[in-house]
Amino acid sequence: MKHVLEIESLTVTFRTENGEVTPVEDVGFAVQPGEIVCIVGESGSGKSVTSLAILNLLGRSGRIGQGQIRLDGRSLTELTEAELRKARGKEAAMIFQEPMTALNPVLTIGDQLREAIRLHVGLRGKAANDYAAGLLRDAGIARPESVLKQYPHALSGGMRQRVVIAMAIAGKPKLLIADEPTTALDVTVQAQILALLKRLRAQHDTAILLITHDLGVVAEMADRVLVMYAGQIVEETDVFSLFERPLHPYTKGLMAAVPAIADELEHRLEAIPGSVPDLARLPAGCRFHPRCPAATDRCRSETPPLTQSGSGHLVRCWLTGHNPAS
Ligand code: SF4
Ligand code: MG
């Protein structure tokens, strides 16, 4: 099957006051049409940077050091800036945690949606307005005509995120990239937005790359999951295997940090001790070793590769990756 997105050995570097750092190192994965892939990890794991690299939104200090990104078979690095602008919204569109980053506070929702429609669909005037109303309806907004006349500040956070999603789907992109799209919303609205994303996937076969730190969101949404730690993928598998048989000690730690609903009241959150390492001073060997309860001498000096452990299950750990029986 043709992939919507293919990333091969992607490395991203950033210039900082303390020299160059590498928030993403040798990351590779693919997303198929209609598939929901979640990237999960703590903040600082490189999941957001990976998602920004896809549409070349790294800003001035960041750059793709090496690797390949192909959107619908076309290499991103071969696109001109103009082609890239077209690809944003048409082939892939991005949704951020805070909807106001995508909305202009001084323009009405209608103005902004019609502009996106002019750009990606080529419609103007009444046709653009009707199309805009249709998009808002698709995004679950019951009275689109009144919302079109409003300014972003007049809407609730959940409504703003629906508007952003409507704008993102204007060009019927094959891939939606959503970075913590529900983190700023309350639980009920969060569930509605996740349901909306699932419905869009079902209706249009839109692939979704969903960045989250929330394993509840992963369980609800993902077909496949990438776990990132300190700039690297440490585990990749389908969502069932991830919850049934997590292999990487970091993944196990994340799982343990989530209370099972049934014993929620009896069990305290068991967070993983320590924190994500400073990118400017990454530990030698396995990057997780300072926090890993299973670390050995080898882990402190040799970097484990990402290896197969069972069909489609990849893990970066000396213990599990090379000895699935253990
Ligand atoms: Fe822990 Fe070693 Fe596996 Fe790293 S390689 S996760 S330190 S056991
Ligand atoms: Mg982030």
pLDDT, tens digit (0-9, with 9 covering 90-100), for 64-106: 999 999 998 889 878 888 888 888 888 899 999 888 888 999 9
What SS3 class is residue 128? Answer: helix
* pLDDT computed for residue 289 by the predictor: 96
Q: 């992607």: which residue's tokens?
A: 10
pLDDT value for 320: 86
Number of H helices, E strands in the chain: 11, 12
Atom of ligand 1 at shortest distance to CA of 300? 7
pTM: 0.93
Q: Tens digits of per-residue pLDDT, 109-119?
A: 999 999 999 99
Probe residue for ligand 1, chosen from 229, 232, 292 as the CB with the greatest number of ligand atoms within 8 Å: 292
**6: confidence class by pLDDT, cuts 50, 70, 90:** very high
Contact 155, 100 (CB under 8 A): no
User: What is 5-91+173-284's CATH topology?
Assistant: Rossmann fold (3.40.50)
CA dihedral 165, 167, 170, 172 (to 10 degrees): -40
The alpha-helical segments, DSSP class H, found in 20-64 are: 47-54
Structure tokens at 6: 């293919």
Backbone angles phi, psi at 224, to 5 degrees: -135, 155
Q: At 259, is the pLDDT very low, low, confident or very high (cuts 50, 70, 90)?
A: low
* pLDDT classification of 130: cutoffs 50, 70, 90: very high
Q: Which two tokens stand for residue 112?
A: 């902004």
What is the percentage of the chain residues whose pLDDT exceeds 90? Answer: 73
**202/218 Cα distance (integer angstroms):** 17
Q: Which of 239, 175, 185 is nearest to 40 (CA)?
A: 239
User: Of ligand 1's atoms, which has the minimum distance to the CA of residue 320?
Assistant: 3
* Burial of residue 165, with CB atoms counted within 10 A of its CB: 0-12 exposed, 13-18 middle, 19 or more buried: buried
Burial label, 311 (beta-carbon count in 10 A; 0-12, 13-18, 19+)? exposed
110-119, 246-255, 268-277, 302-311: which has the minimum mean pLDDT? Answer: 268-277
319 CB within 6 A, ligand 1: yes
Tokens of 239: 């969502």
Closest CA to 297 of 276, 322, 277, 319: 319
Please give the number of the atom of ligand 1 that sits closest to the Cα of 298: 2
Q: Which listed ligand is nearest to 229 at the C-alpha?
A: 1
Is the pLDDT at 322 greater than 70? The verdict is: no
* Nearest residue (CA) to ligand 1, atom 3: 317
Q: Which residues of 61-80 are buried (b: 16+ CB within 10 A; e: fewer)?
A: ebebeebebbbbeeebeebe
Asked whether the predicted pLDDT for residue 268 surpasses 50, the reply is: no
- Pocket test residue of 287, 296, 300, 322 for ligand 1, highest count of atoms within 8 A of CB: 296
**Token pair listed for 217:** 């969101």
State which ligand 1 atom lies nearest to the alpha carbon of 321.
Answer: 3
| pLDDT at residue 261 tops 70 | no
Ligand nearest to the CA of 234: 1
- Position 247 pLDDT exceeds 90: yes
**What is the average per-residue pLDDT within 288-308?**
96
The yes-or-no verdict on residue 267 having pLDDT over 50 is: no
Question: Does 222 contact ligand 1 (Cβ within 6 A)?
Answer: no
Residue 12: pLDDT band with limits 50, 70, 90 = very high
**Residue 239 confidence (pLDDT) above 60:** yes
Tell me if 294 CB under 6 Å of ligand 1.
Answer: yes
C-alpha to C-alpha distance for 325 and 245, rounded to whole angstroms: 13
| Domain chopping of the chain, boundaries | 5-91+173-284, 104-172
Alpha-carbon span 229 to 183, nearest angstrom = 20
Token pair 């994340």 is at which residue?
254
Probe residue for ligand 1, chosen from 229, 276, 317, 323 as the CB with the greatest number of ligand atoms within 8 Å:
317
158 lines ligand 1 (CB under 6 A): no
pLDDT tens digits for 141-197? Answer: 999 999 999 999 999 999 999 999 999 999 999 999 999 999 889 989 999 999 999
Closest ligand 1 atom to 292 CA: 1
The residue-averaged pLDDT of 282-294 equals 95
Q: What is the pLDDT of residue 129?
A: 97
